[in-house]
Chains A and B, each alone.
Chain A
Amino acid sequence: MSEIPLPQAAKRVMPWWLLRHETMLAVILLIALIGLGSMNSRFLTLDNLLNQGRLTTEVGLIALPMTFIIITGGIDLSVGSIVGLCAILLGYSWKVFGFPLPLAIGFSLFIGGVAGFLNGIVITRVKVPPLIMTIATLALYRGLAEGISQARSVRGYPEWFYFIGQDNLFGVPAQLWLLLIAIVVTAIVLDRTTFGRTLYAIGNNETAARFSGLPVDRVKLIIYTLSGLMAGLSACVLVSRVTTTRSDMGIGYELDVIAAVVLGGTSIFGGIGTIWGTVVGLAMIQLLKNGLALTGVKGDATIVVIGTVLILSTLVASSLQRRREGV
Chain B
Amino acid sequence: MTAVTLVSAEVSPRRRLKVLASQEALLAIAVIGLAIAVGLYNPRFLAARNLSDVLLGNAYIAVAAVGMSIVIVSGNIDISVGALIGVLATISGTLAVNGAPIVVAWLAALVAGVVVMALQGVIIAYLRIPAIVVTLGMLSILKGGLISLTGGKWITDLPDSFHLADIELFGMLPFPVFLMIAVTILAALWMRYSASGRAIYAVGGNAEAARLCGISQPRTIVMVFALHGLFAGAAALLYATQLRVIQSTVPPNLELTIITASVVGGVSILGGVGTVVGSTLAAVLIAEIASALVFIDVSPYWIRAVQGVLILVTVIADILRRRRMAGA
B is bound to A: yes
Interface residue ranges, A against B (CB under 8 Å): 1-3, 75, 77, 122, 126-129, 131-133, 135-144, 146-147, 149-151, 252, 254-255, 258, 262, 268-269, 298, 300-308, 310-311, 314-315, 318-319
Q: Do residues B315 and A128 form an inter-chain contact, with CB atoms below 8 A?
A: yes
Determine how close the nearest CB of chain A comes to the CB of B289; give it in whole angstroms.
12
Interface residue? B302 (CB, 8 A):
yes
A135-B259, A139-B304, A146-B305 provided; 4 other pairs, C-beta below 8 A? A304-B141, A310-B140, A311-B137, A315-B129
Assess whether A268 is in contact with B145, with CB atoms less than 8 Å apart.
no
When the two chains form the complex, which single residue of A137, A143, A308 contacts B303, counting CB atoms closer than 8 Å?
A143
Q: Is B140 a contact of A126 with CB atoms below 8 Å?
A: no
* CB-CB under 8 A for A315 and B127, given A140-B305, A143-B304, A151-B301: yes
CA A1 to CA B207, docked complex, whole Å: 11
Bits for B113-146, please: 1 = Cβ < 8 Å to A, else 0.
0000000000100011110111011111101110
- Of A3, A147, A311, which contacts B302 at CB under 8 A? A147
The residue in chain A whose Cβ has the minimal distance to the Cβ of B298 is: A147
A137 and chain B: residue at smallest CB distance: B308
Partner of B148, one of A3, A128, A298: A298
CA distance A306 to B121 in the complex (A): 20
The docked-state distance in angstroms from the alpha carbon of A137 to that of B313 is 11
Among residues of A, the one whose C-beta sits closest to the C-beta of B305 is A143
Among candidates A127, A142, A252, residue contacting B140 with C-beta atoms closer than 8 Å: A252
Contact of A139 among B130, B141, B207, B311 (CB under 8 A): B311
B81 vs chain A, min Cβ distance (A)? 13
B299–A135 CB distance below 8 A: no
Q: How far is the CA of A166 from the CA of B208 in the complex (A)?
A: 55
Query: Which of B1, B140, B207 gathers most chain A CB within 10 Å?
Result: B140
Q: Is the CB of A308 within 8 A of B137?
A: yes
**A131, B132: Cβ atoms under 8 Å?**
yes
Assess whether B308 is in contact with A136, with CB atoms less than 8 Å apart: yes
Q: How far is the CB of A273 from chain B (nearest CB, A)?
A: 14
Is the pair B315, A133 in contact by a Cβ cutoff of 8 Å? yes
Pair A132/B269 contact, Cβ less than 8 Å:
yes
Question: Looking at the complex, which one of A150, A252, A304 makes contact with B299 (CB distance below 8 Å)?
Answer: A150
Q: Write out, one digit per residue, whether chain B residues 28-48 have a CB within 8 A of any chain A CB (1) or not (0).
A: 000000000000000000000
Cα A63 to Cα B260 in complex, Å, equals 27
Given A139-B256, A139-B260, A268-B130, A144-B305 contact (CB < 8 Å): yes
In the bound assembly, the distance between CA atoms of A318 and B302 in angstroms comes to: 41
A315 and B134 CA atoms in complex are apart in Å by 10
Q: Which of B253-278 contact A (CB under 8 A)?
A: 253, 256, 259-260, 263, 269-270
Contact across chains for A131 and B137 when beta carbons are under 8 A apart: no
Which chain B residues numbered 194 to 222 have a C-beta less than 8 Å away from chain A? 207-208
Give chain B residues whose Cβ lies under 8 Å from the Cβ of A127.
319
With A126-B320, A307-B137 given, is the CB distance from A143 to B148 under 8 Å? no
- Count chain B residues whose beta carbon lies closer than 8 angstroms to a beta carbon of A: 48
A5 to chain B, nearest CB (A): 12
Given known pairs A126-B316, A311-B134, the reply for A143 and B306 (CB within 8 Å) is yes
B309: CB under 8 A from chain A?
A: yes
Instruction: Tell me if B269 and A75 are in contact (CB < 8 A).
Output: no
Q: How far is the CA of A252 from the CA of B252 in the complex (A)?
A: 11
A139 close to B299 (CB less than 8 A): no
Given known contacts A1-B1, A139-B253, A301-B144, is B129 in contact with A314 (CB within 8 Å)?
yes
Q: A3-B208, A146-B302, A315-B127 are in contact. Are A304 and B312 (CB under 8 A)?
A: no
Cβ-defined contact, A141 with B308, below 8 A:
yes
Q: List 17 A-B contacts (CB under 8 A).
A: A77-B132, A122-B316, A128-B269, A128-B319, A140-B305, A140-B309, A140-B311, A143-B308, A144-B305, A255-B139, A269-B130, A298-B148, A303-B143, A303-B144, A304-B148, A310-B133, A311-B129
Q: A139-B256, A252-B140 are in contact. Are A131 and B316 (CB under 8 A)?
A: no
Residue-wise, chain B 58-85 has the 8 Å CB interface mask toward A (1 for contact) of: 0000000000000000000101000000
Residues of B within 8 A of A308 (CB): 137, 141
Most chain A beta carbons < 10 A, residue from B132, B137, B138, B263: B137
CB distance from B323 to the nearest CB of A (A): 8
| Residue ID in chain B nearest A136 by CB atoms | B311
Q: Provide the bound-state CA to CA distance between A149 and B138, in Å.
A: 31
A131-B132, A147-B305 given as contacts; is B141 within 8 A of A307 (CB)?
Answer: yes
B127 contacts which chain A residues (CB < 8 A)?
Answer: 315, 318-319
In the complex, the chain A residue whose C-beta lies closest to that of B2 is: A2
- Whether the pair B148, A75 counts as a contact (CB closer than 8 A) is no
Q: Is B92 positioned at the interface, with any CB of A under 8 Å from its CB?
A: no
Smallest CB gap from B146: residue in A: A300
Q: B315 — which chain A residues lie within 8 A by C-beta?
A: 128, 132-133, 136
In the docked arrangement, what's the CA distance between A14 and B36, Å?
Answer: 64
Interface residue B245 (Cβ < 8 Å from any Cβ of A): no
Do A140 and B312 touch across chains, with their CB atoms under 8 A apart?
Answer: yes
- Collect the chain B residues with CB atoms within 8 Å of residue A135's CB: 77, 79, 256, 259, 311
Q: Is B307 on the interface with A (CB-CB < 8 A)?
A: yes
